[in-house]
Amino acid sequence: MVAGAVAAVETVPIASGQVTVQWRPSRQARRISMRIDPRSGHVIITLPRGARKADGLSLLRAHSGWVAAGLSRLPPTPELCDGGYVLLDGQRHEIRHCPDARRGVWLEEGRLHVSGAEEFIARRVAAYLRAQAQVLLPARLRLLTGQCGLRPTQVRLRDTKSRWGSCSSDGAIMLCWRLVMAPQEVQHYIIAHELAHLRHMNHGPDFWLLVDRLTPHRRQAEKWLHANGASLHRMVPA
């Protein structure tokens, strides 16, 4: 495998069964590393320049117990299909397929109705949630901005894997669009967290004092994300 090549995915047997491995060659990495992707459930093995695939397999099999334990802790992946469910603002909504309707996707009486062909349900639900995020998250950020006077230079939504939000040195705030599936209290905390970075680009005592002035939901939100954050990554495909 040559560094810079397209990552390959394959099924590999280990002591506990079979796992899906995604190989990632890297010119920057200095050693072989391994992690579990909470979205796909794949074991990601990074190979630095000159490393052999056999070395990666040795690492995988030497830590097969850790891999098996990590995979067992991943939440199940719900199917975005008729009778399945999805979260919006922390509320669980059953998906109802309406093949003959001509309304696209709409929320009614606690159910998310999806028109069109059955094979497009997952795609349409994902698009609906992203569209909701584009409207709701910036609006909720603007609301808190109006209350506290901390104004970002820009607001962007992305599909991030490890961060729910970030604030750059030039004052731009990024939010993970998947937050729209979390309760509004969680959204409020993440938005407050990033707004506080506009004044304190660190996690020192003054930063946390400001966060706690901006939102009463810090402890509750951190607990919820610890318990349910991985589910948001697995609920909707990237």
Please state the rounded mean pLDDT for residues 117-146.
97
The answer to whether residue 40 scores a pLDDT higher than 90 is: no
Tens digits of residue pLDDT in 155-188: 999 999 889 999 999 999 999 999 999 999 999 9
Question: Which residue pairs, CB below 8 angstroms and at least 24 apart, start in 118-126?
Answer: 118/81, 118/82, 121/80, 121/81, 121/82, 121/95, 121/97, 122/79, 122/80, 122/81, 122/237, 125/80, 125/86, 125/95, 125/236, 126/80, 126/236, 126/237
> From CA 233, how far away is CA 162, in angstroms rounded?
10
> From CA 179, how far away is CA 137, in angstroms rounded?
8
The pLDDT of residue 237 is 80
Most confidently modeled range among 8-22, 33-47, 185-199: 185-199
CB 64 within 8 A of CB 45: no
Please state the rounded mean pLDDT for residues 188-197.
98
The lowest-confidence range among 66-75, 79-88, 128-137, 207-216 is 66-75
Entry pTM: 0.80
Q: Any idea what DSSP says for residue 117?
A: -
In the chain, pLDDT over 70 holds for what percent of residues? 97
The answer to whether residue 2 scores a pLDDT higher than 70 is: no
The pLDDT of residue 3 is 40
- Going along the chain from its start, the domains and CATH numbers come out as 8-72 (no CATH), 85-235 (3.30.2010.10)
* Host H or E run for residue 210: helix 205-214
The answer to whether residue 6 scores a pLDDT higher than 60 is: no
In the chain, pLDDT over 90 holds for what percent of residues? 79
How confident is the prediction for the chain on average, in pLDDT? 92
> From CA 226, how far away is CA 224, in angstroms rounded?
5
The two tokens of residue 68 are 């098996």
Tens digits of residue pLDDT in 54-63: 999 999 999 9
Please state the rounded mean pLDDT for residues 2-6.
41
pLDDT confidence of 4, banded at 50, 70, 90? Answer: very low
More confident residue, 217 or 6: 217
Q: Which residue has the tokens 């991985």?
A: 230
Phi and psi based region of residue 189 (left: phi greater than 0; alpha: psi -120 to 50; beta: remaining): alpha
Please state the rounded mean pLDDT for residues 90-100.
96
Nearest Cα residue to 156 out of 177, 132, 142, 182: 177
The answer to whether residue 121 scores a pLDDT higher than 90 is: yes
> How many CB atoms within 10 Å of residue 41?
14
| Strand, helix or coil for residue 154 | strand
Q: Any idea what DSSP says for residue 61?
A: H
